[in-house]
Structure 1
Amino acid sequence: MELRQLEYFVAVAEEQNFTRAAERVHISQSGVSAQIRQLERELGAELFDRSARTVTLTVAGKAALEHARTALDAAGAIGRSVDAVTGLIRGRLTVGMVVGCTLTPLFEALAAFHEAHPGVEISLLEDGSDRLTEGVRTGAVDLALIGTATAAPDGLHALTIISERLVAAVPPGHPLAKQRRVTLSDLTAHPIVCMPPGTGLRAVFDGACAAQRLQPSIAMQAGAADAIADLAARGLGVAVLSESMAAAHRDRLTARTIDDVGTPALLALIWKSPHNPAVRELLAHSRRAFADFPAMRGQEAAYVSGEGVQGMHFR
């Protein structure tokens, strides 16, 4: 039994798909399948039920999974202990970011980290905030930039990058544009264009509506702020955006802060293990890169140990 076999086993178990697992561990699908078969022969039991499109764990596989994760964590701890003594950082780091992110400070942090620690292989993964959060929890992702409605997702650490109120954005001739004050009730009287479920912005909006027992009419959903703004500008609904998202379209949309929604949409870096030296180093580079970011000037980034924007894009 080899550590790489356990790594492949955990990857298939978490991805529930051999192809995605192979992409994650950077080898061919046939290579993953062969190693899993070898592991099953050594253990004398099948670990996966391959009869359906989605690969699922057998009873034996479920029994083995937590022990496999423990073994991989232990092996990683050995490497980190040696690195702490020698001052070397190496290995692999998976960084997640919300789809379509264009925050240059994040890219600057990655570049600075790569220059300082060329021995670390960096993988960049784009996905929605909910999936990235789950990836951090399972260990598939080391550090992620997500949109969120809470300061720190349950059980994780977080560094808040941006905190902004929700706004309603409409064309200048829209009835809401004539109001100086817009409430959630005013907003939900009109069709809504917003982010899909699973995004930080949508979580804030849905939570506010639920608190007031309002049932908004979601006319359209889009994963990019530019698309939402364009749909609203064409009269297809009231856009629900963050303050900075709406400001990017002030030439054709009038933005009104939703007066009775005080919960902000947050953009945050999240991570699980504070003991990973590569994560600590990347966080240090990130703090420096974001220090002069316009949305953070004049405010201190919040560090939260969790219990439980793009342009800027909160997703």
Structure 2
Amino acid sequence: MELRQLEYFVAVAEEANFTRAALRVHISQPGISAQIRQLEHDLGTTLIDRSTRTATLTAAGEAALVHAREALAAAAAVRNAVDAVNQLVRGRLVVGMVTACTVTGLFDALATFHDAHPGVEITLLEESSDQLVDRVRGGDIDLALVGTATAPPDGLEAFPIIRERLVAAVPPNHPLAGRTGVALTELCDHAIVCMPAGTGIRTVFDQACAASDIRPDIALQASAPDTVADLALRGLGVAILSESMAAAFDGLTALVLDDVEIPAVLALVWKSAASPAVRELVRHTRRAFAEAEAPQIPAPR
């Protein structure tokens, strides 16, 4: 008795027809008939009644069908278990990260995962958040650290790491310096320096401006927050950053955007139907952030 014979038997039982069953399991009709005859010979009884055009089960066939299905399910479970182990022994993970973002917790997770599963090849790449989300959905990237205005993005699972409000950061000689907050309408009377479209920070800012029917003057764009901050320090515009980004640069005063309530979110995202390796890395990431006593996490891009 072989597993393929049980597979053919189940197919005939469910299709009630040898020809349709043969098409389903990709074998010729004479081939499937011969294999089931061999199965019947091995069991010493007839399983399929062939006296009519419809293939029906005999009493013995009815009794055998339940166990045939169980045997096939058990074989599939064995195969899946071995495949899962193999993915953690010699698999590959592609991890995405927003450009110019340094997140200690993620790096710690990658290190502990590599120690536990040294045979898994890890590839790390940087792109904008919207590109990373698209590539996770498309399967090019297994999981990614992204900035977003919402978490999780549609169709993905997510582990949110931090949520922060946006601020307007200005140098000491700027007309807005000395204040604690500013409304979007007043802010947009000034030139703006911000991150490019497709980043989490920019998405939040654009959504807030659109909701108030405001068209800001985007004077300069840069993908790295330190570049945005440096341009603002040189008087080239008001920097749109998160609270933690602005706090990292001496010489800038952060003003709360009074009418922007949407937080920028930094989150790890992955597809629901993830591989065992992805699930294992997510577990390591959760542990890394949980064990960090005071993590210094840059805000989302």
Q: TM-score when scaled to structure 1?
A: 0.67
Alignment of 1:53-132 (within 5 A): 80-84=80-84, 89-132=89-132
Name the amino acid aligned to 2:256: T
Name the amino acid aligned to 1:143: L
Deviation at 1:294, TM superposition (A): 6.6
SS at match of 2:189: coil
Which position in structure 1 is the counterpart of 2:290?
291
CA contact (8 A) 2:104 2:297 kept: no
Alignment of 1:274-289 (within 5 A): 274-289=273-288
Question: Which whole-Å CA distance do the structure 1 matches of 2:126 and 2:87 have between them?
Answer: 30
CA contact (8 A) 2:171 2:251 kept: yes
SS at match of 1:192: strand
Query: Could you list the runs of 5+ residues in structure 1 that have no partner in the other structure?
Result: 1-76, 297-309
Question: Which whole-Å CA distance do the structure 2 matches of 1:254 and 1:314 have between them?
Answer: 20
Which position in structure 1 is the counterpart of 2:239?
239
Question: Which whole-Å CA distance do the structure 1 matches of 2:160 and 2:114 have between them?
Answer: 23
Name the amino acid aligned to 1:278: A
Structure 1 83/266 Cα, relative in aligned 2: closer, same or farther at 3 Å? Answer: same
Question: Which whole-Å CA distance do the structure 1 matches of 2:198 and 2:85 have between them?
Answer: 41
Identity %: 64
Question: Which whole-Å CA distance do the structure 2 matches of 1:257 and 1:171 have between them?
Answer: 15
Structure 1 198/221 Cα, relative in aligned 2: closer, same or farther at 3 Å? Answer: same
Name the amino acid aligned to 1:207: Q
SS at match of 1:268: strand
Does residue 312 of the first structure (1) align with residue 298 of the second (2)? yes
Question: Which whole-Å CA distance do the structure 1 matches of 2:244 and 2:96 have between them?
Answer: 22
Which position in structure 2 is the counterpart of 1:159?
159
Deviation at 1:131, TM superposition (A): 1.0
Which position in structure 2 is the counterpart of 1:252?
251
Structure 1 274/78 Cα, relative in aligned 2: closer, same or farther at 3 Å? Answer: farther
Tell me the number of residue pairs that the alignment of Structure 1 and Structure 2 aligns. 225
Question: Which whole-Å CA distance do the structure 2 matches of 1:294 and 1:264 have between them?
Answer: 23
Query: Could you list the runs of 5+ residues in structure 2 that have no partner in the other structure?
Result: 1-76
Question: Which whole-Å CA distance do the structure 1 matches of 2:132 and 2:300 have between them?
Answer: 13
Which position in structure 2 is the counterpart of 1:170?
170
Structure 1 89/252 Cα, relative in aligned 2: closer, same or farther at 3 Å? Answer: same
Name the amino acid aligned to 1:312: P
Deviation at 1:80, TM superposition (A): 4.8
CA contact (8 A) 2:91 2:120 kept: yes
Alignment of 1:155-234 (within 5 A): 155-234=155-234
Name the amino acid aligned to 2:208: A
Bigger Rg, which one: 2
Question: Which whole-Å CA distance do the structure 2 matches of 1:292 and 1:85 have between them?
Answer: 27
Deviation at 1:293, TM superposition (A): 4.4
Deviation at 1:273, TM superposition (A): 3.2
Question: Which whole-Å CA distance do the structure 2 matches of 1:284 and 1:93 have between them?
Answer: 14
CA contact (8 A) 2:99 2:127 kept: yes
CA contact (8 A) 2:136 2:144 kept: yes
Q: Deviations over 1:202-232 (max 9, x none)?
A: 0000000000000100000000110000100
Deviation at 1:87, TM superposition (A): 9.6
Structure 1 267/215 Cα, relative in aligned 2: closer, same or farther at 3 Å? Answer: same
Structure 1 111/175 Cα, relative in aligned 2: closer, same or farther at 3 Å? Answer: same
Question: Which whole-Å CA distance do the structure 2 matches of 1:220 and 1:262 have between them?
Answer: 24
Q: Deviations over 1:154-212 (max 9, x none)?
A: 11111101100000000122221233331111211100000000111100000000000
Structure 1 98/86 Cα, relative in aligned 2: closer, same or farther at 3 Å? Answer: closer
Name the amino acid aligned to 1:182: V
C-alpha root-mean-square deviation of aligned residues, in Å? 2.2
Name the amino acid aligned to 1:284: R
Which position in structure 2 is the counterpart of 1:61?
none
